Amino acid sequence: MSRMLPSSDQLFAYITDIGAREHPALRRCREETAKHPHSGMQIGPDQGAAMALLAQLISTSRYLEIGTFTGYSALAVALAMPDDGRVVCCDVSKEFTDIARRYWGEAGVAAKIELRLGPAVETLDRMIATGEAAFDFAFIDADKESYDAYYERALKLVRAGGLIALDNMLWSGKVADPSECDETTAALRALNRKIHDDDRVDMAMLALGDGVMLARKR
């Protein structure tokens, strides 16, 4: 069977160039974030394009994001959504999401996006309690130790046939190495196994970026 390609700077540059039709605001957001000390938290253009395409394939009009950082993924999906589409972003950082807001405005999609600042578990529990309208697509990309809590809540908030995508599920390959047993690796490894065995969803692991687990709610 074919295997993941060995990565190289040359190949990465090629994927960045050819693998996505990147909106100018997305490019500027990516370039500004690249100078940031936490730049590794940003998804690549190829992943942004894949998420936008997935959003279109399932006719996403409501997108939920848990962990927004400087706004690249929310912008990529918002640009692929209809004018009346709605994005709800959960994050704890005003500093990072102020950068996000600037690019959402620049791209003309700020009106589609609502930012809810605060611990996401509380925000999600409030949405469940108040009967928030169902989402078509949820993306989980925040603190890894809480992923299971986010996944359980996303399962409640996404419609049947809707999609949950979880980022960094290969964790630089550490999940496959039994000698790696730090708390974060253990949490992601356990969640990968749980989703693999979870009959509430159909699933596939993509070797995209740092690993994206896709779970379609049955």
Q: Which residues of the shown chain bind Ca ion in the complex (CB under 5 A)? A: 141, 167-168
Nearest-approach distance from CB 129 to Ca ion, in angstroms = 28
Nearest-approach distance from CB 13 to Ca ion, in angstroms = 20
Pairing of strands 158-166, 201-206: unpaired
Residue 82 vs 170, nearer CB to Ca ion: 170
Residue 22 vs 141, nearer CB to Ca ion: 141
Residue type, 139: F
Which residue's C-beta sits nearest to Ca ion? Answer: 167
Contact 52, 78 (CB under 8 A): no
Helices and strands counted in the chain (H then E): 8, 7
Nearest-approach distance from CB 83 to Ca ion, in angstroms = 28
Residue 42 vs 60, nearer CB to Ca ion: 42
Pairing of strands 113-117, 86-91: parallel
Distance CA 9, CA 180 (A): 26
Residue 132 vs 143, nearer CB to Ca ion: 143
What spatial distance separates the first Cα and last Cα of the chain, rounded to whole Å? 29
Nearest-approach distance from CB 167 to Ca ion, in angstroms = 4
